[in-house]
Structure 1
Amino acid sequence: MSGLIVLATSMIPAAAATVDVAAAPARTQIIMMKDNGEVIETPGAHESRASLSIVKLYLGHWVLQHGAPEDKALVYEMIRSSHDGIASNLDRKYRQAIPDTIGRFRLTETNYRGRWGDTTTSVHDMAAFVRAVRTDPAARPLIDGMRNPAAVAADGYPQNFGTATLPGIEGTKFGWSDKRDVHATVSFGPGFVVAAHTFGSAQVHTDDVRRAVHTDGLVAGAQQIQIGGVTIPVASGAELKARTRCTKTEQFWQGVPDTVLVPRYVLDVIPAC
């Protein structure tokens, strides 16, 4: 059957991704939620700590659902560059946004205190939220923002730490305190979501995550199809749209379903962000 298309993956299954709970110090909370339902978490995974900029995901999701068109258009940049100004303006305009998201997604360890910057959340709620929305077409600007984070945030802080440094990661939201002494990240990869929160510097956060979380061998989006005995590397439609979001060809690709497989050589010749 030479015309039969068989999907194969060159990545280690998500089952190979894991957390060594004993390797994480008390200053760092970590949780991994897998698509197969398995959850691996440190003892502090349900502690509500400062949400930092992670809460912009909760805010942005509500705006995408209920906000004015001009405000919906700001969500991608708010996530990509972790833009405080956009977050503050949206939070003031839509005071119900974060509380409604907390209720809708049953984020029982998240507390809104009248301002996005004063919100607390847990790594459990962070991961549960991302797992719930990562395949929702309505949340695409959130996920695209995580897939394409700015190298340097709007406030000048580098976005290159924590769970984003793990092998196989496909998207990340970063968070840090004004004093740069508390850091958090939530990321997704093939078959899993991982979140971490650290009382410490970006380097301490990264070191704790790399010591405890193991995704070695995972390659984000490393899929192949076989057609007539020929192996062709492919990517998903979601990756194609994320790569072209800021280009003139963006609208051309919006009708492509996220789950469609696209030959990677096609992506290589399409202008990307």
Structure 2
Amino acid sequence: MTGSHRAPSRLPRVSRRVVAAVSTAVIASAAAPLLATSAAAAPVPRTNPNGTISAPGRTQISFEHTLTGFHAGTANEHESRPGLSIVKMYIADYVFTHGTPEEKAQATQMLRTSDDRIASQLYAKYPQSINATASAYGLRDTHGAAHWGNSTTSTADSVKYLEAKKRQNPADPVLVALATASPVAADGYAQNFGTSTLPGVIGTKWGWSDDRRSFHASASYGHDFSVAAATHGPAAQLTHDVQSAFAPGGHIPAPPALPTPFGSAGIPMMNYPARQVVDQQVGHIAPPVTDPLVALVPEYVPMPQPVADFLPQPR
């Protein structure tokens, strides 16, 4: 949801204590499943001959496979669209680093129930939170606004962010909150559409326009993938377009085959994700200049494992 524009109000003192207690229990109980290694197989996107995901122009979809680095998206995946409640992930991320224990508990509740009142309260104190998170994670399509509900983002940015959080810490409080989201939001809207309907999903953040018809979005992650989608239309349309964009029983393209063992000693080889690492290291510095340069870097570079271990690793 985009959230109303009325002045933010503070939560009652008793409610804050309840939120803190519930949030602590939720994080403790949810962290273990997130660290589990077994999960349903990742969904597989249907792609066009040019490699983009097949979907109507009204809809934007991005997907990334964690284990191989395989990424696919619609041709418009970098279009900066209404961020709705998806940007609450970025607000919460900042609060989990800079906020008080009470504010961190509120941030968890905000993500789980998509609470606009808490979002307005936290954003009023941390108006830099969306842009700061976008800068930290290289989210080039994400832009904060005076009111958080008017901020913009893209599905490509949502997927990039979720994959980074998974690499940094699978039990990150943002991921835990998404994995324990309430079936019904604070405003009574059902949180059950879009990418959350795909197999293997662990956690999701949803968003919808105030009229509950004109725009819907969702961003989800599983053990070995992240996926996000947004559409100009109702929730059922987003679900339909997402379901149509993924094929049952498909296979994620594997990284290029490794060469034979290195030298006579049989030193193990690996496909080093060179482009991903370079993008994370320098891509954010000056995108108009660095983006074309990053694109020239091979996606994978075969090299001996001992050499790769000394190089920067994906975040």
Give TM-score scaled by structure 1 length: 0.72
Count, aligned residues? 210
- Work out the CA distance in 2 between the residues paired with 1:139 and 1:94: 24
**What is the CA-CA distance between 1:139 and the residue it aligns to?**
6.7
What amino acid sits opposite 1:99 in the alignment? N
**What is the CA-CA distance between 1:8 and the residue it aligns to?**
8.9
* 1:26 correspondence with 2:53: no
**What is the CA-CA distance between 1:120 and the residue it aligns to?**
0.5
**What is the CA-CA distance between 1:140 and the residue it aligns to?**
2.4
Q: Secondary structure at the match of 1:178?
A: coil
Conserved 8 A contact 2:131-2:142: no
Query: Deviation string for 1:196-220 (max 9, x for gaps)?
Result: 00001000010000000236599xx
- Work out the CA distance in 1 between the residues paired with 2:109 and 2:168: 19
Aligned to 1:204: 237
Aligned to 2:204: 172
* 1:184 correspondence with 2:211: no
Q: Secondary structure at the match of 1:193?
A: strand
Distance 1:8 1:47, change over 3 A: closer
Q: Secondary structure at the match of 2:89?
A: helix
What amino acid sits opposite 1:54 in the alignment? I
What amino acid sits opposite 1:168 in the alignment? G
What amino acid sits opposite 2:61 in the alignment? I
* 1:78 correspondence with 2:105: no
* 1:42 correspondence with 2:42: no
* 1:141 correspondence with 2:173: yes
Unaligned runs of 5+ residues in structure 1 are: 1-6, 219-273
What amino acid sits opposite 1:24 in the alignment? A
Aligned to 1:157: 189
Conserved 8 A contact 2:40-2:199: no
**What is the CA-CA distance between 1:38 and the residue it aligns to?**
1.0
- Work out the CA distance in 2 between the residues paired with 1:22 and 1:201: 20
Q: Of 95, 120, 123, which residue of structure 1 is paired with 2:152? A: 120
Query: Deviation string for 1:44-76 (max 9, x for gaps)?
Result: 100000001000000000000011121011111
- Work out the CA distance in 1 between the residues paired with 2:133 and 2:195: 24
Query: Deviation string for 1:137-183 (max 9, x for gaps)?
Result: 49722111111111110011000100001111111110101011200
* 1:17 correspondence with 2:54: no
Aligned to 1:100: 132
What amino acid sits opposite 1:67 in the alignment? G
- Work out the CA distance in 1 between the residues paired with 2:75 and 2:201: 24
- Work out the CA distance in 1 between the residues paired with 2:239 and 2:178: 18
Distance 1:94 1:209, change over 3 A: same
- Work out the CA distance in 1 between the residues paired with 2:69 and 2:53: 21
Conserved 8 A contact 1:52-1:175: yes
Higher strand share: 1
Conserved 8 A contact 1:19-1:40: no
Aligned to 1:54: 86
What amino acid sits opposite 2:58 in the alignment? R
- Work out the CA distance in 1 between the residues paired with 2:170 and 2:200: 24
- Work out the CA distance in 2 between the residues paired with 1:65 and 1:106: 17
Distance 1:139 1:105, change over 3 A: farther
Distance 1:8 1:167, change over 3 A: closer
Distance 1:139 1:74, change over 3 A: farther
Conserved 8 A contact 1:19-1:41: no
Query: Deviation string for 1:93-120 (max 9, x for gaps)?
Result: 1112112111111111111122211100
Unaligned runs of 5+ residues in structure 2 are: 1-35, 252-315
What amino acid sits opposite 1:166 in the alignment? L
Distance 1:79 1:215, change over 3 A: farther
- Work out the CA distance in 1 between the residues paired with 2:53 and 2:112: 33
Distance 1:72 1:9, change over 3 A: closer
